[in-house]
Chain A
Amino acid sequence: GQQVMQIPQYQHVQEGEDFTTYCNSSTTLSNIQWYKQRPGGHPVFLIQLVKSGEVKKQKRLTFQFGEAKKNSSLHITATQTTDVGTYFCAGPVETSYDKVIFGPGTSLSVIP
């Protein structure tokens, strides 16, 4: 069945270093969304990408959607302790746009 993978599973960085997480789907996605979950919290929507090759920026965060719409990345420049959390990508299931599949997430730790 359709799978969404994320790498790495965990990432520990020194504050000020950059961070990137990659999301890869086994099938083409009509769109991809990114969520952040702080420790002990609930997932919070960050952004949605729809177009092939799309790049969006939110302050220090840069999101990309691959040309084939099967992969995406989230890059954080100069991490801060407020960036700590787990980042999930999510997309609609190919056969049913109402079903959602989430990646397993990348857990980011920032060492001050």
Chain B
Amino acid sequence: EAQVTQNPRYLITVTGKKLTVTCSQNMNHEYMSWYRQDPGLGLRQIYYSMNVEVTDKGDVPEGYKVSRKEKRNFPLILESPSPNQTSLYFCASSLWGLNNSPLHFGNGTRLTVT
């Protein structure tokens, strides 16, 4: 089944403790991206990647890192999480990017930083 898989679904952590949220897609998509969703603000793009070893900042990249060492994986790294990073996170992929193809979203990761 074609899908985007995120793990974990829920994560509670403390300020400053490094964490990684994994994202994997099995559709051979070139484009992958991360979003955070907060009430009243909709979805905001954190980082995106057009291809392996190519990553770029979205609208809200501060406090986050990503890597794209393989086509299928696009992990989101929080080196030193802070409470303002408490949010619902979505990973998404598409064949070529928003200009030509739809985004396929993972099920989301609800992160709480205390």
The answer on A and B forming one complex is yes
**A interface, CB within 8 angstroms of B:** 9, 30-31, 33, 35, 41-45, 48, 88, 90-92, 96-105
Which of the segments B15-23, B40-48, B76-84 contacts the partner chain? B40-48
By a CB distance below 8 angstroms, the chain A residues around B42 are 88, 102-105
- How many interface contacts (CB-CB < 8 Å) are there between A and B? 67
B50 with A98: CB separation less than 8 A: yes
The dominant DSSP class at the A interface is strand
Which size class do B's interface residues fall under?
20 to 34
B98 surroundings in chain A (CB, below 8 A): 31, 33, 90-92, 97-98, 100
B interface residues (Cβ-Cβ under 8 A, vs A): 31, 33, 35, 40-45, 48, 50, 56, 58-59, 90, 92, 97-99, 102-108
* Interchain residue pairs with CB less than 8 A apart (21): A31-B99, A33-B102, A33-B103, A35-B103, A42-B90, A42-B108, A43-B43, A43-B92, A43-B105, A44-B105, A88-B43, A90-B103, A92-B98, A97-B97, A98-B56, A98-B97, A98-B98, A98-B99, A99-B56, A100-B48, A104-B40
